[in-house]
Structure 1
Amino acid sequence: MVNLKEYVLDWLGPDRVQAGIVEMAACGSEVIMVKLVGACLTLGRKLPDREHHVSMLMTRGELRLTLNGDRVGLFAPAYIDFIASNQWKNVTVEGNLEGYLLVVERNFFLETTSKLRSRISEKMMAYAKRPFVSLNSEEVVGLQGLSSSLFALMSAEKNGIFHRELVQSMLRACQCELWNIVFRQGESVEKAEEPYRLGEMVAHFLYLAHTYCCERHEVNWYCEQLGVSPNALTATLKRFYGKTARSIIDDLLITEAKVTLRNPELSVQDISDKFCFSDQSAFGKFFKRYCGMSPALFRREQEKGKQVDC
Protein backbone atom coordinates (compact mmCIF):
# COMPACT_ATOMS: atom_id res chain seq x y z
CA MET A 1 0.00 0.00 0.00
CA VAL A 2 1.29 3.47 -0.90
CA ASN A 3 2.39 5.68 2.01
CA LEU A 4 0.39 8.71 0.96
CA LYS A 5 2.50 11.23 2.89
CA GLU A 6 5.73 9.97 1.32
CA TYR A 7 4.02 9.93 -2.09
CA VAL A 8 3.04 13.60 -1.77
CA LEU A 9 6.45 14.68 -0.48
CA ASP A 10 8.09 12.88 -3.40
CA TRP A 11 5.64 14.48 -5.84
CA LEU A 12 6.46 17.96 -4.52
CA GLY A 13 10.22 17.33 -4.44
CA PRO A 14 12.01 16.81 -1.10
CA ASP A 15 14.54 19.60 -1.72
CA ARG A 16 11.73 22.18 -2.01
CA VAL A 17 9.59 21.03 0.92
CA GLN A 18 10.87 23.60 3.41
CA ALA A 19 10.13 26.41 0.96
CA GLY A 20 6.64 25.26 0.13
CA ILE A 21 4.87 23.32 2.86
CA VAL A 22 3.52 24.92 6.01
CA GLU A 23 1.09 22.27 7.24
CA MET A 24 -0.13 18.84 6.22
CA ALA A 25 -3.32 17.00 7.27
CA ALA A 26 -4.46 13.47 6.48
CA CYS A 27 -7.39 11.08 6.79
CA GLY A 28 -5.69 7.72 7.14
CA SER A 29 -4.10 6.56 3.89
CA GLU A 30 -6.99 7.84 1.77
CA VAL A 31 -6.75 11.64 1.78
CA ILE A 32 -3.90 14.09 2.33
CA MET A 33 -4.10 17.86 2.14
CA VAL A 34 -1.18 20.29 2.05
CA LYS A 35 -1.37 24.01 2.78
CA LEU A 36 1.14 25.57 0.39
CA VAL A 37 2.98 28.86 0.69
CA GLY A 38 6.26 30.08 -0.79
CA ALA A 39 7.98 31.27 -3.93
CA CYS A 40 9.05 29.30 -7.01
CA LEU A 41 7.82 25.94 -5.72
CA THR A 42 8.48 23.24 -8.32
CA LEU A 43 5.82 20.56 -8.76
CA GLY A 44 5.67 17.52 -10.98
CA ARG A 45 8.82 15.63 -10.08
CA LYS A 46 6.61 12.59 -9.75
CA LEU A 47 3.42 13.27 -11.68
CA PRO A 48 0.02 12.03 -10.46
CA ASP A 49 -0.69 8.37 -11.22
CA ARG A 50 -4.00 6.66 -11.89
CA GLU A 51 -4.35 5.54 -8.27
CA HIS A 52 -4.90 9.07 -6.94
CA HIS A 53 -6.99 12.14 -7.69
CA VAL A 54 -4.83 15.26 -7.41
CA SER A 55 -6.08 18.85 -7.42
CA MET A 56 -4.97 22.32 -6.31
CA LEU A 57 -6.79 25.43 -5.20
CA MET A 58 -4.40 28.32 -5.93
CA THR A 59 -5.33 31.57 -4.18
CA ARG A 60 -2.08 33.43 -4.99
CA GLY A 61 0.66 32.87 -7.54
CA GLU A 62 0.95 31.73 -11.15
CA LEU A 63 0.93 28.16 -12.46
CA ARG A 64 3.01 27.30 -15.53
CA LEU A 65 2.88 23.88 -17.14
CA THR A 66 2.85 21.87 -20.32
CA LEU A 67 -0.44 20.05 -20.89
CA ASN A 68 -0.58 17.53 -23.74
CA GLY A 69 2.21 19.40 -25.52
CA ASP A 70 0.77 22.91 -25.07
CA ARG A 71 2.42 25.44 -22.75
CA VAL A 72 -0.12 27.00 -20.38
CA GLY A 73 0.03 29.84 -17.87
CA LEU A 74 -2.70 30.25 -15.23
CA PHE A 75 -2.99 33.08 -12.72
CA ALA A 76 -4.57 32.81 -9.28
CA PRO A 77 -7.23 32.54 -8.12
CA ALA A 78 -7.81 29.23 -9.90
CA TYR A 79 -8.63 25.58 -9.41
CA ILE A 80 -6.68 22.83 -11.22
CA ASP A 81 -7.45 19.10 -11.52
CA PHE A 82 -4.34 17.12 -12.47
CA ILE A 83 -6.36 14.49 -14.35
CA ALA A 84 -4.06 11.53 -14.92
CA SER A 85 -5.27 10.79 -18.47
CA ASN A 86 -3.57 14.03 -19.57
CA GLN A 87 0.17 14.47 -20.07
CA TRP A 88 1.53 16.94 -17.49
CA LYS A 89 5.10 18.26 -17.76
CA ASN A 90 7.22 21.12 -16.43
CA VAL A 91 4.75 22.10 -13.71
CA THR A 92 6.01 25.14 -11.80
CA VAL A 93 4.40 27.79 -9.62
CA GLU A 94 5.80 31.33 -9.73
CA GLY A 95 5.28 34.25 -7.38
CA ASN A 96 4.16 34.18 -3.77
CA LEU A 97 2.19 30.97 -3.81
CA GLU A 98 -0.73 30.30 -1.52
CA GLY A 99 -3.23 27.49 -1.75
CA TYR A 100 -4.13 23.90 -1.00
CA LEU A 101 -2.93 20.71 -2.66
CA LEU A 102 -5.31 17.76 -2.29
CA VAL A 103 -4.44 14.10 -3.02
CA VAL A 104 -7.20 11.49 -2.67
CA GLU A 105 -6.95 7.73 -3.12
CA ARG A 106 -8.92 6.88 -6.27
CA ASN A 107 -11.44 4.47 -4.73
CA PHE A 108 -12.18 6.91 -1.91
CA PHE A 109 -12.74 9.68 -4.45
CA LEU A 110 -15.02 7.51 -6.61
CA GLU A 111 -17.01 6.48 -3.54
CA THR A 112 -17.33 10.12 -2.45
CA THR A 113 -18.46 11.41 -5.86
CA SER A 114 -20.54 8.43 -7.05
CA LYS A 115 -23.86 10.34 -7.03
CA LEU A 116 -22.32 13.51 -8.41
CA ARG A 117 -20.70 12.01 -11.52
CA SER A 118 -23.93 11.19 -13.35
CA ARG A 119 -25.01 14.84 -13.02
CA ILE A 120 -21.81 16.34 -14.41
CA SER A 121 -21.35 14.05 -17.42
CA GLU A 122 -22.57 16.86 -19.70
CA LYS A 123 -19.45 18.89 -18.94
CA MET A 124 -16.87 16.21 -18.19
CA MET A 125 -15.51 15.72 -21.70
CA ALA A 126 -14.69 19.39 -22.25
CA TYR A 127 -13.43 19.85 -18.68
CA ALA A 128 -11.13 16.81 -18.83
CA LYS A 129 -9.27 18.29 -21.81
CA ARG A 130 -8.50 21.57 -20.00
CA PRO A 131 -9.23 20.99 -16.29
CA PHE A 132 -8.69 24.56 -15.11
CA VAL A 133 -11.18 26.96 -13.58
CA SER A 134 -10.37 30.65 -13.15
CA LEU A 135 -12.23 32.01 -10.13
CA ASN A 136 -13.76 35.39 -9.37
CA SER A 137 -13.60 36.92 -5.89
CA GLU A 138 -16.87 35.37 -4.73
CA GLU A 139 -16.04 31.92 -6.10
CA VAL A 140 -12.60 31.75 -4.52
CA VAL A 141 -14.03 32.76 -1.13
CA GLY A 142 -16.51 29.87 -1.31
CA LEU A 143 -13.95 27.24 -2.33
CA GLN A 144 -11.34 28.56 0.08
CA GLY A 145 -13.81 28.40 2.97
CA LEU A 146 -14.74 24.78 2.19
CA SER A 147 -11.10 23.80 1.69
CA SER A 148 -10.13 25.42 4.97
CA SER A 149 -12.90 23.52 6.75
CA LEU A 150 -11.77 20.23 5.19
CA PHE A 151 -8.18 20.92 6.27
CA ALA A 152 -9.29 21.76 9.81
CA LEU A 153 -11.42 18.62 10.01
CA MET A 154 -8.52 16.39 8.97
CA SER A 155 -6.15 18.21 11.34
CA ALA A 156 -8.43 17.72 14.35
CA GLU A 157 -8.06 14.83 16.77
CA LYS A 158 -9.66 11.80 15.12
CA ASN A 159 -11.63 10.36 18.01
CA GLY A 160 -15.05 9.86 16.40
CA ILE A 161 -16.26 6.72 14.68
CA PHE A 162 -17.72 8.83 11.84
CA HIS A 163 -14.60 10.88 11.14
CA ARG A 164 -14.10 9.25 7.72
CA GLU A 165 -17.73 9.97 6.80
CA LEU A 166 -17.34 13.61 7.87
CA VAL A 167 -14.26 13.95 5.65
CA GLN A 168 -16.20 12.41 2.76
CA SER A 169 -19.08 14.82 3.27
CA MET A 170 -16.80 17.85 3.32
CA LEU A 171 -14.87 16.63 0.26
CA ARG A 172 -18.19 16.11 -1.53
CA ALA A 173 -19.21 19.66 -0.62
CA CYS A 174 -15.96 20.97 -2.16
CA GLN A 175 -16.65 19.03 -5.38
CA CYS A 176 -20.25 20.26 -5.53
CA GLU A 177 -19.11 23.86 -5.17
CA LEU A 178 -16.47 23.37 -7.88
CA TRP A 179 -19.03 21.97 -10.31
CA ASN A 180 -21.50 24.72 -9.50
CA ILE A 181 -18.78 27.09 -10.71
CA VAL A 182 -18.02 24.99 -13.82
CA PHE A 183 -21.69 24.94 -14.81
CA ARG A 184 -22.11 28.66 -14.21
CA GLN A 185 -19.06 29.51 -16.29
CA GLY A 186 -19.35 26.95 -19.04
CA GLU A 187 -21.40 26.96 -22.19
CA SER A 188 -23.25 23.90 -23.46
CA VAL A 189 -20.86 21.49 -25.13
CA GLU A 190 -22.00 21.07 -28.73
CA LYS A 191 -21.25 17.96 -30.68
CA ALA A 192 -18.52 18.55 -33.23
CA GLU A 193 -19.78 18.52 -36.80
CA GLU A 194 -16.53 17.47 -38.43
CA PRO A 195 -15.00 13.98 -38.01
CA TYR A 196 -12.94 13.44 -34.86
CA ARG A 197 -9.21 13.54 -35.15
CA LEU A 198 -7.55 10.52 -33.56
CA GLY A 199 -6.71 12.24 -30.27
CA GLU A 200 -10.28 13.57 -30.00
CA MET A 201 -11.65 10.08 -30.65
CA VAL A 202 -9.64 8.75 -27.71
CA ALA A 203 -10.76 11.61 -25.44
CA HIS A 204 -14.41 11.13 -26.42
CA PHE A 205 -14.24 7.36 -25.91
CA LEU A 206 -12.72 7.79 -22.44
CA TYR A 207 -15.43 10.29 -21.55
CA LEU A 208 -18.15 7.89 -22.72
CA ALA A 209 -16.54 4.93 -20.96
CA HIS A 210 -16.24 6.77 -17.64
CA THR A 211 -19.83 7.96 -17.90
CA TYR A 212 -21.61 4.85 -19.20
CA CYS A 213 -19.44 1.81 -18.33
CA CYS A 214 -21.88 0.65 -15.64
CA GLU A 215 -24.81 0.41 -18.04
CA ARG A 216 -23.13 -0.07 -21.43
CA HIS A 217 -20.68 -2.97 -21.61
CA GLU A 218 -20.71 -3.51 -25.38
CA VAL A 219 -17.84 -2.10 -27.46
CA ASN A 220 -20.18 -1.77 -30.45
CA TRP A 221 -22.33 0.76 -28.59
CA TYR A 222 -19.34 3.06 -28.11
CA CYS A 223 -18.39 2.63 -31.77
CA GLU A 224 -21.89 3.73 -32.78
CA GLN A 225 -21.60 6.88 -30.66
CA LEU A 226 -18.24 7.70 -32.22
CA GLY A 227 -19.15 6.72 -35.77
CA VAL A 228 -16.17 4.37 -36.17
CA SER A 229 -15.67 0.64 -36.65
CA PRO A 230 -14.54 -1.63 -33.77
CA ASN A 231 -11.25 -2.29 -35.57
CA ALA A 232 -10.57 1.44 -36.01
CA LEU A 233 -11.38 2.18 -32.36
CA THR A 234 -9.18 -0.67 -31.11
CA ALA A 235 -6.25 0.34 -33.30
CA THR A 236 -6.48 3.98 -32.18
CA LEU A 237 -6.79 3.15 -28.48
CA LYS A 238 -3.85 0.76 -28.60
CA ARG A 239 -1.75 3.42 -30.31
CA PHE A 240 -2.62 6.23 -27.88
CA TYR A 241 -3.52 4.34 -24.71
CA GLY A 242 -1.90 0.92 -25.01
CA LYS A 243 -5.19 -0.88 -24.29
CA THR A 244 -8.22 -2.13 -26.18
CA ALA A 245 -11.70 -0.70 -25.74
CA ARG A 246 -12.79 -3.95 -24.08
CA SER A 247 -10.04 -3.83 -21.45
CA ILE A 248 -10.65 -0.14 -20.67
CA ILE A 249 -14.40 -0.68 -20.19
CA ASP A 250 -13.79 -3.74 -18.02
CA ASP A 251 -11.15 -1.95 -15.90
CA LEU A 252 -13.56 0.91 -15.21
CA LEU A 253 -16.40 -1.48 -14.45
CA ILE A 254 -14.27 -3.48 -12.00
CA THR A 255 -13.20 -0.28 -10.25
CA GLU A 256 -16.82 0.83 -9.86
CA ALA A 257 -17.83 -2.65 -8.68
CA LYS A 258 -15.15 -2.72 -5.97
CA VAL A 259 -16.24 0.69 -4.71
CA THR A 260 -19.90 -0.35 -4.65
CA LEU A 261 -19.13 -3.64 -2.86
CA ARG A 262 -17.91 -1.55 0.08
CA ASN A 263 -21.50 -0.42 0.65
CA PRO A 264 -23.05 -2.97 3.06
CA GLU A 265 -26.56 -1.73 2.29
CA LEU A 266 -26.41 -3.22 -1.22
CA SER A 267 -26.58 -6.96 -1.79
CA VAL A 268 -24.54 -8.63 -4.53
CA GLN A 269 -27.82 -9.01 -6.45
CA ASP A 270 -28.47 -5.27 -6.08
CA ILE A 271 -25.02 -4.52 -7.45
CA SER A 272 -25.50 -6.98 -10.32
CA ASP A 273 -28.70 -5.15 -11.26
CA LYS A 274 -27.08 -1.73 -10.84
CA PHE A 275 -24.36 -2.68 -13.33
CA CYS A 276 -26.86 -4.17 -15.81
CA PHE A 277 -25.66 -7.79 -15.77
CA SER A 278 -28.16 -10.40 -16.91
CA ASP A 279 -28.09 -12.05 -13.47
CA GLN A 280 -25.97 -12.39 -10.34
CA SER A 281 -24.14 -15.39 -11.76
CA ALA A 282 -22.94 -13.41 -14.79
CA PHE A 283 -21.70 -10.61 -12.54
CA GLY A 284 -19.93 -13.14 -10.30
CA LYS A 285 -18.14 -14.78 -13.25
CA PHE A 286 -17.06 -11.39 -14.61
CA PHE A 287 -15.76 -10.24 -11.22
CA LYS A 288 -13.94 -13.50 -10.49
CA ARG A 289 -12.24 -13.44 -13.90
CA TYR A 290 -10.56 -10.13 -12.99
CA CYS A 291 -10.16 -10.41 -9.22
CA GLY A 292 -9.70 -14.13 -8.71
CA MET A 293 -12.51 -14.32 -6.16
CA SER A 294 -16.26 -13.93 -5.95
CA PRO A 295 -17.85 -10.55 -5.12
CA ALA A 296 -19.07 -11.96 -1.80
CA LEU A 297 -15.56 -13.10 -0.81
CA PHE A 298 -14.10 -9.75 -1.87
CA ARG A 299 -16.63 -8.01 0.38
CA ARG A 300 -15.78 -10.27 3.34
CA GLU A 301 -12.06 -9.63 2.89
CA GLN A 302 -12.71 -5.87 2.80
CA GLU A 303 -14.78 -6.08 5.97
CA LYS A 304 -11.84 -7.79 7.67
CA GLY A 305 -9.64 -4.86 6.66
CA LYS A 306 -7.52 -6.92 4.27
CA GLN A 307 -5.93 -5.31 1.22
CA VAL A 308 -7.14 -7.12 -1.90
CA ASP A 309 -5.10 -6.60 -5.05
CA CYS A 310 -7.02 -7.13 -8.28
Structure 2
Amino acid sequence: MKMGHKESLGVEVGQTDWKELIGKIRFTTEVAMFKCTSGQAVIVIDSQKHIFRANINFMLKEFTLFQVLEVSDDFCVTYCQFPMKVSNEIYARISSNIYMITDQSVPDIYTEESLVVADSLFGSICHLCQNENHAYHKEMLIHLLLAYTYELYEQTRSFAEKRHASSSITNTDSNILNRFYGLIRKYHTIHRDVKFYASTLNISERYLYKIVKGNIKITPKQMVDDYVIALIKKTLLTTSLSFQQIADRFNFYDQSVMGQFFKRNAGMTLSDFRNKHA
Protein backbone atom coordinates (compact mmCIF):
# COMPACT_ATOMS: atom_id res chain seq x y z
CA MET A 1 0.00 0.00 0.00
CA LYS A 2 1.24 3.47 -0.80
CA MET A 3 0.24 6.99 0.04
CA GLY A 4 1.91 9.97 -1.52
CA HIS A 5 1.80 13.60 -2.51
CA LYS A 6 2.65 14.84 -5.99
CA GLU A 7 3.40 18.49 -6.68
CA SER A 8 3.84 20.58 -9.81
CA LEU A 9 7.40 19.48 -10.57
CA GLY A 10 6.28 15.86 -10.60
CA VAL A 11 8.10 15.08 -7.35
CA GLU A 12 6.38 12.42 -5.27
CA VAL A 13 6.81 11.89 -1.54
CA GLY A 14 5.18 9.15 0.49
CA GLN A 15 5.50 5.93 2.44
CA THR A 16 5.22 2.28 1.44
CA ASP A 17 5.83 -1.18 2.87
CA TRP A 18 7.09 -2.56 -0.51
CA LYS A 19 5.06 -5.74 -0.01
CA GLU A 20 3.48 -5.35 -3.46
CA LEU A 21 6.97 -5.26 -5.01
CA ILE A 22 8.26 -8.55 -3.60
CA GLY A 23 9.67 -10.76 -6.36
CA LYS A 24 9.11 -8.22 -9.12
CA ILE A 25 11.96 -6.85 -11.21
CA ARG A 26 11.83 -3.16 -12.09
CA PHE A 27 13.82 -1.10 -14.57
CA THR A 28 13.75 2.32 -12.94
CA THR A 29 13.04 5.40 -15.05
CA GLU A 30 13.23 8.04 -12.31
CA VAL A 31 15.62 8.94 -9.50
CA ALA A 32 14.42 8.08 -6.00
CA MET A 33 15.72 8.59 -2.49
CA PHE A 34 14.66 6.13 0.21
CA LYS A 35 14.82 6.06 4.00
CA CYS A 36 13.94 2.92 5.92
CA THR A 37 11.97 4.09 8.96
CA SER A 38 11.43 0.65 10.50
CA GLY A 39 12.26 -3.02 9.93
CA GLN A 40 14.50 -4.19 7.11
CA ALA A 41 14.37 -5.45 3.52
CA VAL A 42 16.52 -7.61 1.28
CA ILE A 43 16.86 -5.96 -2.13
CA VAL A 44 18.79 -6.49 -5.36
CA ILE A 45 20.33 -3.57 -7.28
CA ASP A 46 21.89 -4.46 -10.64
CA SER A 47 22.35 -8.12 -9.62
CA GLN A 48 23.90 -7.27 -6.21
CA LYS A 49 22.04 -8.23 -3.02
CA HIS A 50 21.81 -5.66 -0.21
CA ILE A 51 20.23 -5.26 3.22
CA PHE A 52 18.18 -2.10 3.71
CA ARG A 53 17.66 -1.47 7.44
CA ALA A 54 16.06 1.11 9.71
CA ASN A 55 17.47 4.67 9.78
CA ILE A 56 19.51 4.21 6.59
CA ASN A 57 18.82 6.07 3.36
CA PHE A 58 20.25 5.84 -0.15
CA MET A 59 19.67 7.02 -3.70
CA LEU A 60 18.49 4.79 -6.53
CA LYS A 61 19.35 6.19 -9.96
CA GLU A 62 17.34 5.89 -13.14
CA PHE A 63 17.94 2.98 -15.54
CA THR A 64 18.72 0.52 -12.77
CA LEU A 65 17.46 -3.03 -12.32
CA PHE A 66 15.80 -3.18 -8.90
CA GLN A 67 14.09 -6.03 -7.08
CA VAL A 68 12.67 -6.54 -3.57
CA LEU A 69 13.32 -10.08 -2.32
CA GLU A 70 11.81 -9.89 1.15
CA VAL A 71 10.68 -7.43 3.81
CA SER A 72 10.12 -7.76 7.54
CA ASP A 73 6.58 -7.44 8.90
CA ASP A 74 7.36 -4.00 10.33
CA PHE A 75 9.20 -2.69 7.27
CA CYS A 76 8.32 0.84 6.18
CA VAL A 77 10.16 3.18 3.81
CA THR A 78 9.77 6.89 3.15
CA TYR A 79 10.54 7.81 -0.45
CA CYS A 80 11.11 10.92 -2.53
CA GLN A 81 10.94 10.27 -6.27
CA PHE A 82 11.58 12.88 -8.93
CA PRO A 83 11.32 12.72 -12.73
CA MET A 84 14.00 13.26 -15.36
CA LYS A 85 13.15 16.95 -15.82
CA VAL A 86 14.23 17.55 -12.22
CA SER A 87 17.20 15.19 -12.54
CA ASN A 88 18.37 17.09 -15.61
CA GLU A 89 18.55 20.34 -13.62
CA ILE A 90 20.74 18.60 -11.06
CA TYR A 91 22.98 16.96 -13.68
CA ALA A 92 23.54 20.36 -15.28
CA ARG A 93 25.09 21.60 -12.03
CA ILE A 94 27.38 18.73 -11.05
CA SER A 95 30.44 17.11 -12.60
CA SER A 96 30.20 13.73 -14.29
CA ASN A 97 32.56 12.31 -11.64
CA ILE A 98 30.13 13.18 -8.86
CA TYR A 99 27.29 11.61 -10.78
CA MET A 100 29.25 8.41 -11.41
CA ILE A 101 30.17 8.06 -7.74
CA THR A 102 26.62 8.60 -6.46
CA ASP A 103 25.55 6.00 -9.02
CA GLN A 104 27.22 3.51 -6.64
CA SER A 105 24.90 4.35 -3.73
CA VAL A 106 23.59 1.23 -1.97
CA PRO A 107 22.20 1.03 1.59
CA ASP A 108 24.60 -1.34 3.30
CA ILE A 109 27.72 0.77 2.78
CA TYR A 110 26.38 3.46 5.13
CA THR A 111 25.92 3.81 8.88
CA GLU A 112 23.49 6.00 10.78
CA GLU A 113 26.39 8.16 11.92
CA SER A 114 27.69 8.72 8.40
CA LEU A 115 24.26 9.78 7.16
CA VAL A 116 23.43 12.43 9.76
CA VAL A 117 23.74 15.30 7.28
CA ALA A 118 22.16 13.40 4.38
CA ASP A 119 19.26 12.35 6.60
CA SER A 120 18.66 15.94 7.68
CA LEU A 121 18.62 17.07 4.05
CA PHE A 122 16.27 14.23 3.12
CA GLY A 123 13.83 15.34 5.82
CA SER A 124 13.95 18.92 4.56
CA ILE A 125 13.33 17.77 0.98
CA CYS A 126 10.28 15.77 2.05
CA HIS A 127 8.85 18.67 4.06
CA LEU A 128 9.42 21.14 1.22
CA CYS A 129 7.74 18.84 -1.30
CA GLN A 130 4.60 19.01 0.80
CA ASN A 131 4.64 22.82 0.84
CA GLU A 132 4.28 23.65 -2.83
CA ASN A 133 2.98 27.14 -2.07
CA HIS A 134 6.39 28.29 -0.85
CA ALA A 135 7.44 31.32 -2.92
CA TYR A 136 10.79 29.75 -3.83
CA HIS A 137 9.64 26.15 -3.83
CA LYS A 138 11.46 25.05 -7.00
CA GLU A 139 14.69 26.90 -6.27
CA MET A 140 14.93 25.56 -2.72
CA LEU A 141 14.07 22.04 -3.83
CA ILE A 142 16.80 21.98 -6.51
CA HIS A 143 19.38 23.31 -4.04
CA LEU A 144 18.39 20.77 -1.39
CA LEU A 145 18.60 17.94 -3.92
CA LEU A 146 22.02 19.21 -4.97
CA ALA A 147 23.18 19.35 -1.36
CA TYR A 148 21.91 15.80 -0.78
CA THR A 149 23.75 14.61 -3.90
CA TYR A 150 27.00 16.25 -2.78
CA GLU A 151 26.69 14.75 0.70
CA LEU A 152 25.93 11.30 -0.68
CA TYR A 153 28.96 11.64 -2.95
CA GLU A 154 31.13 12.35 0.10
CA GLN A 155 29.80 9.28 1.91
CA THR A 156 30.00 7.00 -1.16
CA ARG A 157 33.33 7.82 -2.82
CA SER A 158 35.49 5.72 -0.49
CA PHE A 159 33.38 2.66 -1.33
CA ALA A 160 32.90 3.22 -5.06
CA GLU A 161 36.08 1.49 -6.23
CA LYS A 162 35.29 -1.58 -4.15
CA ARG A 163 32.10 -2.28 -6.06
CA HIS A 164 32.29 -5.10 -8.57
CA ALA A 165 29.55 -6.39 -10.79
CA SER A 166 28.73 -10.03 -10.28
CA SER A 167 27.96 -12.41 -13.11
CA SER A 168 25.34 -15.11 -13.20
CA ILE A 169 25.27 -18.51 -14.83
CA THR A 170 21.64 -19.61 -14.62
CA ASN A 171 18.88 -18.86 -17.08
CA THR A 172 16.11 -17.55 -14.81
CA ASP A 173 14.32 -14.39 -15.96
CA SER A 174 16.01 -12.39 -13.21
CA ASN A 175 19.51 -13.52 -14.12
CA ILE A 176 19.00 -13.02 -17.85
CA LEU A 177 17.73 -9.49 -17.19
CA ASN A 178 20.72 -8.73 -15.00
CA ARG A 179 23.15 -10.15 -17.55
CA PHE A 180 21.42 -8.25 -20.37
CA TYR A 181 21.67 -5.00 -18.43
CA GLY A 182 25.32 -5.68 -17.62
CA LEU A 183 26.03 -6.18 -21.33
CA ILE A 184 24.25 -2.92 -22.18
CA ARG A 185 26.45 -1.06 -19.72
CA LYS A 186 29.55 -2.66 -21.21
CA TYR A 187 28.76 -2.48 -24.94
CA HIS A 188 26.27 0.40 -25.38
CA THR A 189 28.77 2.52 -27.33
CA ILE A 190 29.49 -0.33 -29.74
CA HIS A 191 26.28 -2.32 -30.07
CA ARG A 192 22.72 -1.02 -30.16
CA ASP A 193 21.36 -4.02 -32.06
CA VAL A 194 19.35 -6.46 -29.91
CA LYS A 195 20.64 -9.35 -32.05
CA PHE A 196 24.12 -8.89 -30.55
CA TYR A 197 22.84 -9.07 -26.97
CA ALA A 198 20.64 -12.10 -27.59
CA SER A 199 23.54 -13.88 -29.30
CA THR A 200 25.93 -13.06 -26.44
CA LEU A 201 23.36 -14.40 -23.96
CA ASN A 202 22.97 -17.54 -26.09
CA ILE A 203 19.22 -17.04 -26.42
CA SER A 204 16.95 -16.02 -29.29
CA GLU A 205 15.84 -12.44 -29.86
CA ARG A 206 12.26 -13.62 -29.40
CA TYR A 207 13.04 -15.16 -26.01
CA LEU A 208 14.88 -12.03 -24.87
CA TYR A 209 11.90 -9.93 -25.97
CA LYS A 210 9.54 -12.20 -24.01
CA ILE A 211 11.60 -11.92 -20.82
CA VAL A 212 12.17 -8.15 -20.97
CA LYS A 213 8.66 -7.24 -22.09
CA GLY A 214 7.07 -9.66 -19.64
CA ASN A 215 9.01 -8.41 -16.62
CA ILE A 216 9.61 -4.69 -17.10
CA LYS A 217 7.01 -3.81 -19.76
CA ILE A 218 9.38 -2.38 -22.35
CA THR A 219 11.18 -3.96 -25.29
CA PRO A 220 14.88 -4.91 -25.28
CA LYS A 221 15.49 -2.23 -27.93
CA GLN A 222 13.82 0.39 -25.72
CA MET A 223 16.02 -0.70 -22.84
CA VAL A 224 19.18 -0.22 -24.90
CA ASP A 225 18.04 3.08 -26.39
CA ASP A 226 16.85 4.47 -23.04
CA TYR A 227 20.25 3.75 -21.51
CA VAL A 228 22.12 5.43 -24.38
CA ILE A 229 19.78 8.45 -24.33
CA ALA A 230 20.28 8.87 -20.58
CA LEU A 231 24.07 8.92 -21.01
CA ILE A 232 23.91 11.36 -23.94
CA LYS A 233 21.78 13.67 -21.80
CA LYS A 234 24.28 13.51 -18.95
CA THR A 235 27.13 14.20 -21.37
CA LEU A 236 25.29 17.20 -22.82
CA LEU A 237 24.68 18.59 -19.35
CA THR A 238 27.97 17.83 -17.61
CA THR A 239 30.52 18.51 -20.37
CA SER A 240 31.23 21.15 -23.00
CA LEU A 241 31.91 18.55 -25.70
CA SER A 242 30.65 19.41 -29.17
CA PHE A 243 27.89 17.32 -30.72
CA GLN A 244 30.44 15.70 -33.03
CA GLN A 245 32.68 14.82 -30.08
CA ILE A 246 29.72 13.26 -28.30
CA ALA A 247 28.77 11.38 -31.46
CA ASP A 248 32.34 10.05 -31.63
CA ARG A 249 32.21 9.00 -27.97
CA PHE A 250 29.04 6.98 -28.57
CA ASN A 251 30.20 5.66 -31.96
CA PHE A 252 27.54 7.27 -34.13
CA TYR A 253 28.51 7.69 -37.78
CA ASP A 254 28.20 11.46 -37.44
CA GLN A 255 26.38 14.02 -35.33
CA SER A 256 23.36 14.14 -37.65
CA VAL A 257 22.74 10.42 -37.12
CA MET A 258 23.03 10.91 -33.34
CA GLY A 259 20.75 13.95 -33.60
CA GLN A 260 18.06 11.91 -35.34
CA PHE A 261 18.40 9.13 -32.76
CA PHE A 262 18.17 11.64 -29.91
CA LYS A 263 15.14 13.50 -31.29
CA ARG A 264 13.31 10.25 -32.00
CA ASN A 265 13.81 9.04 -28.42
CA ALA A 266 13.93 12.26 -26.40
CA GLY A 267 11.40 14.32 -28.34
CA MET A 268 13.71 17.31 -28.91
CA THR A 269 16.92 18.23 -30.68
CA LEU A 270 20.36 18.11 -29.06
CA SER A 271 20.56 21.91 -29.17
CA ASP A 272 17.12 22.38 -27.65
CA PHE A 273 17.94 20.00 -24.82
CA ARG A 274 21.29 21.59 -23.99
CA ASN A 275 19.93 25.16 -24.30
CA LYS A 276 16.91 24.35 -22.12
CA HIS A 277 19.12 23.27 -19.26
CA ALA A 278 22.11 25.56 -19.82
Q: Distance in 1 between matches of 2:135 and 2:243?
A: 32
Aligned to 1:76: 54
2:184 aligns with one of 196, 205, 209:
209
Letter in 1 for 2:9: S
The answer for the alignment partner of 1:196 in structure 2 is 169
- Please give the per-residue CA displacement for 1:40-61, whole angstroms capped at 9, x wherever unaligned: x645668988443333222x42
Q: Deviations over 1:244-299 (max 9, x none)?
A: 65442222223444565668966544543453423222212323444566444x54
Specify which of 186, 199, 209 is matched with residue 238 of structure 1. Answer: 209
Counterpart of 1:4 in structure 2 is none
- Aligned residue pairs total 257
1:281: which partner in 2?
256
Paired residue for 2:33, among 27, 49, 55? Answer: 55
Q: What secondary structure is seen at the aligned counterpart in 2 of 1:133?
A: helix
Give, in whole Å, the separation in 1 of the partners of 2:183 and 2:102: 12
Q: Assess if the C-alpha contact under 8 Å between 2:88 and 2:237 holds in 1.
A: no
Instruction: State yes or no: 1:249 paired with 2:249.
Output: no
Q: Is the 8 A contact 2:102 2:149 kept in 1?
A: no
> Deviation at 1:212?
5.7
Matched, 1:176 2:166: no
Displacement after TM superposition at 1:178 (Å): 5.2
Taking the aligned partners of 1:190 and 1:238, their CA distance within structure 2 comes to: 24
Match of 1:86 among 55, 61, 66: 66
Of the structure 1 ranges 259-268 and 143-152, higher mean CA displacement relative to structure 2 is found in 259-268
What one-letter code is carried by the residue in structure 1 that aligns with 2:87? F
- Unaligned segments of structure 1, at least 5 residues: 1-10, 18-23, 305-310
The CA RMSD over aligned residues, in Å, is 5.0
Q: Which runs of 5+ in 2 are unaligned?
A: none
Check 1:189–1:259 CA distance in 2 against 1; reply closer, same or farther (3 A cut): closer
C-alpha spacing 1:209/1:175, structure 2 compared with 1 (3 Å): farther
Specify the alignment match of 2:143 in structure 1: 166
Does 1 or 2 have the higher relative contact order (CA < 8 Å, sep 6+)? 2
SS at 1:29 equivalent: coil
TM-score (norm 2): 0.62
TM-score (norm 1): 0.57
Matched position secondary structure for 2:156: helix
* 1: CA distance, partners of 2:74 / 2:31: 23
| AA in 2 matched with 1:52 | E
User: Which whole-Å CA distance do the structure 2 matches of 1:93 and 1:110 have between them?
Assistant: 37
**Separation in 2, partners of 1:190, 1:50:** 18
The alignment partner of 1:86 has SS state of: strand
Which one has a bigger Cα radius of gyration?
A: 1
